[in-house]
Amino acid sequence: MRIGLFDSGIGGLTVLAEFIKKYPNCEYIYYGDTANLPYGTKSKEELSVLADKIIKFLISKKIDLIVIACGTISSNLYSEIKDKYNVKIIDILTPTINYITQNKLNNIGIMATPMTVKSQFFEKKLVNVTSIACPKLVPLIECGEFTDELKQAVKAYLQKLKGCDYIILGCTHYPLIIPIIQKYSTIPFINMGKCLVDTINVNSKSTLHIELYFSKLTSEIITNVSKIIKENKEIYERKV
What tens digit of pLDDT does each residue of 17-52 get?
Answer: 999 999 999 999 999 999 999 999 999 999 999 999
In Å, what is the CA distance from 102 to each residue of 92, 98, 125, 207?
17, 6, 13, 34
Q: Within 13 Å, how many C-alpha atoms sit on residue 33's CB side?
A: 25
What domains lie within the chain, and their CATH numbers? 2-91+195-237 (3.40.50.1860), 94-192 (3.40.50.1860)
Average pLDDT taken over every residue of the chain: 96
Torsion of CA 118, 228, 202, 34, to 10 degrees: 50
Q: Which residues are catalytic?
A: 70, 171
- Residue 56: Cβ within 10 Å count: 11
∠ CA 6-55-211, nearest 5°, is 50
**Rounded Cα distance, 50 and 76, in Å:** 13
Task: Reply yes or no on whether the pLDDT at 206 is more than 90.
Answer: no
CA distance 232 to 209: 8
**pTM of the predicted model over 0.75:** yes
Return the pLDDT at 203.
Answer: 84
